[in-house]
Amino acid sequence: MNKFPFLGIIITFVIMNVSDALPIQFWPMSSETYNERANAFIDHKCFFQEFTITDTIKLQVSNEVDTDNKYWLRIDDVNGTLVDFKSFTKTLQTGYAHYDLTFDMSLLTSEDTYFKFYILRGDVESFDATFDGSFLGESLTYLYKSDLVKFSTQIKTNPAYGTFLILYKSIGNFGSQSNFAGLNYPNNGNYFNLRIPCRFFEQRNNTSQSSLQLSNSKVINTSVILSLQQYMTVYMMPDYMHNKIQLALAHAVRGSVSIDGFEWTVTEGYERSNPDKRNPWQFGKVWLSRKNTLIRNII
């Protein structure tokens, strides 16, 4: 919280945080989103994040201090018509507040379609029963917006396309609370879920070994260490999505990253393809190590 005296008046600003590690990307209302922005010498190409309608979407905003602010999520359809309005739930943590919201889109649609999200701040005491949006008056301030996000009833896996869901969370020590990348974690066991288009199939054993040369010219192995790794190749996406993937995977250091029913750790760097002078998207790739598969044989 920053205070600036001006003409004898103390003006208080509360710093609000919306993390880039959230499953859905948000931009300040004063900025252009990825799809809205044109970049010099780059062929413009819109990108739409994709989830299934049954994927659990968890969002969070936070303040540096405890306030009486209330935050809301507005959901619009592809035509800009309001379809839902959800409230964030406040949790106080060591002197500051964060606000969580968990939902899925299965109650709003039963077909493949697109939605846009807005984060608002303000006080709404009564809702219009007709839900025509007339209750969204001057008391609410639009803070952040997303691009259109695609929600599908089913995403089929075939030789040409497929997706995986990355589940990630940070875990405090001995039941304590933790935070990482601007996300605050009460120890409630809930994951954030990020769906990405990728190939995640090929495996290898990462092997390290040591040996000892004896005086009679014989060599004996003294240790062999094996760990199972799996190769993730991420489909072409904008930079902000690769950043989001790296933030999600980094939760494995002091937390949990789960993909396809297994927990994973990151032992090698995440790489992107060389930037194309005109194409704004890149491929990504990384070897992930399956947790609890380390095998040692040591003399």
- Tens digit of pLDDT for each residue in 230-246? 999 999 999 999 999 99
CA angle, residues 263, 268, 274, in degrees to nearest 5: 120
pLDDT band at residue 278 under the 50/70/90 scheme: confident
| Per-residue pLDDT at 228 | 87
Predicted pLDDT at 13: 47
Are 229 and 126 within one domain?
no
- What's the pLDDT band for 213 if we cut at 50, 70, 90? confident
Report the domain count for the chain: 2
On whether both 183 and 229 belong to a single domain, the answer is yes
Residue 212 and residue 148 share a domain: no
The structure tokens listed for 202 are 């090929």
More confident residue, 192 or 127: 192
Q: 180 and 118 in one domain? A: no
Say yes or no: 75 and 167 in one domain.
no
201-208 long-range contacts, CB within 8 A, separation 24+: 201/230, 201/231, 202/230, 202/231, 203/228, 203/229, 203/230, 203/231, 204/228, 204/229, 204/231, 204/287, 205/229, 206/267, 206/287, 206/289
* Mean pLDDT, residues 209-213: 68
pLDDT of residue 7: 38
- What percentage of the chain exceeds 70 in pLDDT? 80
Question: Looking at residue 209, what is its pLDDT?
Answer: 64
Q: Is the pLDDT of residue 35 over 90?
A: yes
If asked whether residues 148 and 5 sit together in one domain, one would say: yes
pLDDT: is 98 or 248 the higher one?
A: 248
d(CA 61, CA 281): 28
- Considering the domain architecture, whether residues 128 and 182 belong to the same structural domain is answered as no
pLDDT for 230 equals: 93
Identify the domain containing residue 135 by its residue range.
Answer: 1-154
User: pLDDT class for 6, splitting at 50, 70, 90?
Assistant: very low
**Structure confidence by residue, pLDDT tens digits, 143-159:** 999 999 999 999 999 99
Q: What is the pLDDT of residue 235?
A: 94
In 3D, which of 201, 224, 221 has the Cα closest to residue 294?
Answer: 224
Instruction: Specify whether 43 is located in the same domain as 14.
Output: yes
Q: What is the mean pLDDT of residues 119-141?
A: 64
pTM, two decimal places: 0.84
Residue ending a domain, among 99, 123, 154, is 154
**In this structure, what is the dihedral angle of CA atoms 192, 197, 201, 207, given to the nearest 10 degrees?**
-60
Does residue 125 have a pLDDT over 70? no
Residue 50 shares a structural domain with residue 137: yes
Question: Mean per-residue pLDDT for 16-37?
Answer: 95
